[in-house]
Chains A and B, each alone.
Chain A
């Protein structure tokens, strides 16, 4: 039950986690009006940063989406740092220094994640190479078989190519 489970991770996982540790009493709702910055440009920057920061206690939400208390504290922290003149990257680094790379929903490109980021290109490339050789193999087979078609094969071939073949041409 995929998405069901996943969304539960927000609420239930927290509940299950609470058996192990306690989470601070939580006011509900993600970003709240009283935490927002007066300057819309600054607030927009804060939103952009917090959308890429993982809420640690809910595990699969960004702090922008989460109503957990910790997420709220981190959102406020981000806004404080911005007010103090930090760049977006500096704010991110500040969080990473305290909570580790784990808080970044967008994994940074480095040696350990090269395979991850390269994967789509590698997969498409390998696939294209495979398809290319497969087609070439097909072509060679035709070339090899070309001059020595049996009568039966000739007939079948022509029936396949023939424009009268309504099914294939439709």
Chain B
């Protein structure tokens, strides 16, 4: 199997270009180019104010979510294990909504990180079953689904208490939305994302060894518990960085890893993480393009589109796993 990781940067570039071109007004690449350099005309406005920030926010959020999902998929050896399925993102979303509802003026990334980590700890604790030496990854996933239900319900509960306009905004955000993103959002998610991806890069070697199972990892001189906690922490924070700017966009984290692995034909954890980050960015950008252009005059939240794309993928995955006898 020859790796073809170069396909992804090309796809990513294409997606960014598409996202900058398509919208209420369709621009040609030439118009964008002149806009970029001259600073005037429709190209400039679109680039700088309208589509530029949203596109780069989408790319950043998609990348962090894709990488986060792949960490859990590798650690739990299950394609269903992703922060969106397992409730970490709903937890992060709940914390942000709670912050708005109770007027806690902390930065959003901090709130969403706190929420995501709390959800992760809750899932881990609630999955411990007496008598079981190690909890099965499916228990973790199902408990995660339950935590996700709970966090979503609590978010809806809090939203009901808000004034109508705020409530409508929060509702939209909870679906996963890139509407009205500014360069600040883009810079925030890209900056935090780059930092966390750097931390992750330092952990890749540990991940490679953990992938062989805890006992072998320990035999190779790793402390499996500590290494795993570190990776989980990085994964949750990555997901939280995405949630802070785009809301709990569903299914990107789950889809990006396996999809990227297929497109780039890679298997090693480091390459898988890279591929997942780029695929996450591509998927999110394209979902946003479709979401804002499928119905004229209406901007759908990006999360609606990823939901529509992701659910069939999940079903396909189930049917495939059932055939392989893994479920």
A, B from the same assembly: no
Footprint of A on B, CB under 8 Å?
Answer: none
